[in-house]
C-alpha cells in the first residue's frame, strides 16, 4: 500500500468518529504532520532583487513595502514570529520540516522546483489559506531561509485580505498579462526582513489561460532557480471548484493538500490526488481535527509521487492589456 493510500485510509477512520465528537468551528484548529538559471531574466529588476534579504531602498516607492498585521493574525490563531513557542507554532514546525528537507535533498540532486510549494484543498473553507499563511510565518523564523508568498487564489484573494493588501494592488495576474510589468513592479517587502509577497493582482476572467501560458512557466523556473535559499509558497484555489488549481499544480515541486477532518471523504481525496501528475511530492495535512485526551497525535500524514467560486472577482478580458 502506498503512503498516499495509507493516508487516505487514515482519513476514512477519522471520519468514523464524526458521531462521537464534532470539530469546533469557532477557531482554526489545525492538526498536521508533513512529517541552472534561465538565460533571460525577464521578470526581475536586478537593482531591486540584488539580495533576498536587502531592505527596501529609498528609491523604491512606499507602496512596495507593507506592515503585516501580526497582532491581528495572532488573535485569529495564526503563528506569530514573536511567539515561537506557542502551540500553533510547534504544530507548524512539524509540518514545515519535511518540506524544507525535501527542498534541500532535491535541490542538491539538481531536481527542479522543489522550493515551489502549492497549498490547496478540495473545497473552500477547509483551511488552505490559513495553512499557507502559517507556513509562511513559520518558515520566516528560520535563520537560513527566505520566504516568498504568492497569492494565487485568483477568484477570492483571501490571503491578501488577511495580510492587509488592498484589492487593487497589482500582482501575479498583471505580470502574466502584461510583458511590460515585471516581478520587481509587484513585489512587496514586509516588516519581516526575510518575507516578500506577490499579491494576486487585478482579477481577470482569463486567469486559467494566463496560468497555463509560457510566460508563467518561465516565471516559475526563474523564481525557483534565482534564489535556492528561498521557499516560495503559493496559496492556490480549491482543486474541485476551479480549473486554475490543476494548471498551477503542473508548475509546482511540492503540494500540501489540506483536508478538513470529519468533512471530506477519502474518495474525494483520491479523486483530487489522481489529477496531480506523478512527479509531484504530495503531503496531506489533516485540518480541524478533533483532539482526544488519549491521542498523542491527531495528524493526517502521507507522501506520494504521483456552486461557483469567487464570483465577485472577475475582470473582463480581451484585446489590449487592461
3-50+62-305: CATH homologous superfamily? P-loop containing nucleotide triphosphate hydrolases (3.40.50.300)
Extended strands (E) in the chain: 65-66, 116-121, 146-151, 188-190, 195-198, 230-235, 254-260, 281-287, 303-305
Kindly tell me if the per-residue pLDDT of 199 is higher than 60: yes
Give this prediction's pTM: 0.74
- Banded pLDDT at 58 (limits 50, 70, 90): very low
Give me the pLDDT at residue 129, please: 95
Percent of the chain with pLDDT strictly greater than 70: 70
Answer whether residue 9 shows pLDDT above 70: no
Neighbours of 267 (CB within 10 A): 10
In sequence order, the β-bridge partners of residue 188 are: 197
**For residues 293-320, average pLDDT:** 43
Does residue 16 surpass a pLDDT of 80? no
Residue of 210, 137, 146 whose CA lies nearest to 172: 210
**100/147 Cα distance (integer angstroms):** 12
Amino acid at each position: 500500500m502506498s503512503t498516499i493510500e495509507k493516508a487516505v485510509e487514515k482519513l476514512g477512520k477519522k471520519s468514523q468518529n464524526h458521531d462521537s465528537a464534532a470539530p469546533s468551528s469557532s477557531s482554526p484548529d489545525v492538526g498536521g504532520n508533513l512529517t541552472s538559471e534561465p538565460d533571460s531574466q525577464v521578470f526581475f529588476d536586478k537593482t531591486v532583487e540584488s539580495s533576498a534579504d536587502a531592505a527596501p531602498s529609498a528609491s523604491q516607492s512606499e507602496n512596495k513595502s507593507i506592515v503585516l498585521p501580526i497582532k491581528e493574525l495572532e488573535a485569529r490563531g495564526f503563528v506569530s514570529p514573536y511567539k515561537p513557542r506557542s502551540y500553533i507554532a510547534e504544530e507548524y514546525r512539524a509540518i514545515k520540516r519535511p518540506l524544507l528537507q525535501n527542498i534541500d535533498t532535491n535541490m542538491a540532486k539538481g531536481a527542479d522546483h522543489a522550493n515551489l510549494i502549492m497549498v490547496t484543498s478540495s473545497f473552500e473553507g477547509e483551511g488552505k489559506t490559513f495553512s499557507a499563511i502559517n507556513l509562511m510565518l513559520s518558515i520566516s523564523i528560520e535563520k537560513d531561509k527566505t520566504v516568498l508568498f504568492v497569492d494565487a487564489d485568483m477568484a477570492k484573494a483571501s490571503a491578501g485580505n488577511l495580510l492587509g493588501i488592498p484589492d487593487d494592488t497589482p500582482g501575479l495576474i498583471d505580470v502574466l498579462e502584461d510583458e511590460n510589468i515585471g516581478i520587481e513592479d509587484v513585489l512587496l517587502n514586509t516588516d519581516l526582513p526575510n518575507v516578500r509577497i506577490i499579491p494576486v493582482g487585478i482579477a481577470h476572467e482569463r486567469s486559467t489561460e494566463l496560468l497555463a501560458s509560457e510566460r508563467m512557466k518561465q516565471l516559475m523556473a526563474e523564481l525557483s532557480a534565482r534564489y535556492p535559499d528561498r521557499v516560495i509558497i503559493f496559496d492556490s484555489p480549491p482543486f474541485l471548484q476551479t480549473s486554475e488549481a490543476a494548471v498551477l499544480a503542473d508548475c509546482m515541486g511540492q503540494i500540501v493538500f489540506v483536508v478538513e477532518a470529519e468533512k471530506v471523504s477519502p474518495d474525494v481525496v483520491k479523486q483530487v490526488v489522481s489529477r496531480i501528475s506523478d512527479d509531484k511530492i504530495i503531503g496531506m495535512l489533516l485540518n480541524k481535527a478533533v483532539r482526544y485526551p488519549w491521542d498523542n497525535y491527531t495528524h493526517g500524514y502521507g507522501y506520494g509521487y504521483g456552486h461557483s467560486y469567487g464570483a465577485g472577482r472577475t475582470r473582463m478580458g480581451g484585446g489590449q492589456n487592461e
